[in-house]
Structure 1
């Protein structure tokens, strides 16, 4: 049987690598392209990086705050900066010691337009699972944008692992 703690970090690192590879084949113009009335690829990449960064910071501090993000910013304008940050975050996730996954964290989340914050207890491992699962949603939105720009995207890119495991993913090529 596989070690579930290693699987969490390995699969998260694989997901980040796939995103990094896709960003790597984009041109700078494709990366920052914003479709009419929609978000482009860059904001989705930044959002994923921000969430992974939040859990990495939480593993060190004991507090995870997913809402403390830099919207806009260099990751949405500079593909090279995004690639460097993806590589850094991927390395940090892949080298996270298994014992760190059990560390307790307090998760802060803005739950109201008035800025009300909810606090809950969790663990680094549970939050890493959440971040990986949440990122699938953003990869699923990136895939059609990239395809519309003529970028070859693997057919399973953006599908949840449970969907692929159930055989309900893309039709075989």
Structure 2
């Protein structure tokens, strides 16, 4: 396994945050999981869980097929073309199962001999509809998925408050915010 301490920390943090999300869902019934927000029309806890997992899944799938010996990108991650899983967003059990799948996928990818300096191609839709393609690194995209998750956890916490649920305080904050406020 070719890795760096920073990458190990990213994998550890991502798995920890995913487990924490799964634990938070234990206090949410299917009715609240799928109830649309009045403050954010069309938004549900389940849709945000699915959205977060989509990003991790795309990155991990691109890396699972990586050939560390190739000279080009290790993989292509296209965040604009996600397959949305109705099962993940429609029941808490579906969301928890998807979280466990992503954690298992992450463990498999973590064990791959991905070179520390390996790069990947990232695609997404830009404002105005144009498709953008960029070079990025495995570590940068792991960080992005984790950071992206923290922001959606904050939205999920807000939705939980709207629905009369009480999420853990630290669930809605970035690690840097928690560290700074200690």
TM > 0.5: yes
Deviations 1:79-138 (A, max 9, x none): 221110111102222451374373321001111444x21111112221000110111110
Query: Scaled by the length of structure 1, what TM-score is found?
Result: 0.86
Q: Secondary structure at the match of 1:85?
A: helix
Alignment of 1:1-173 (within 5 A): 3-38=5-40, 39-61=43-65, 62-71=75-84, 73-95=86-108, 96-97=110-111, 99-100=113-114, 102=116, 103-114=118-129, 116-167=130-181
SS in structure 2 at match of 1:107:
strand
Question: Paired residues, what number?
Answer: 166
TM-score (norm 2): 0.82
Structure-1 separation of matches of 2:48 and 2:102:
15
In structure 2, runs of 5+ residues without a counterpart are: 66-74
CA contact (8 A) 1:58 1:124 kept: no
The gaps in structure 1 that reach 5 residues or longer are: 169-173
Structural RMSD (CA)? 2.1
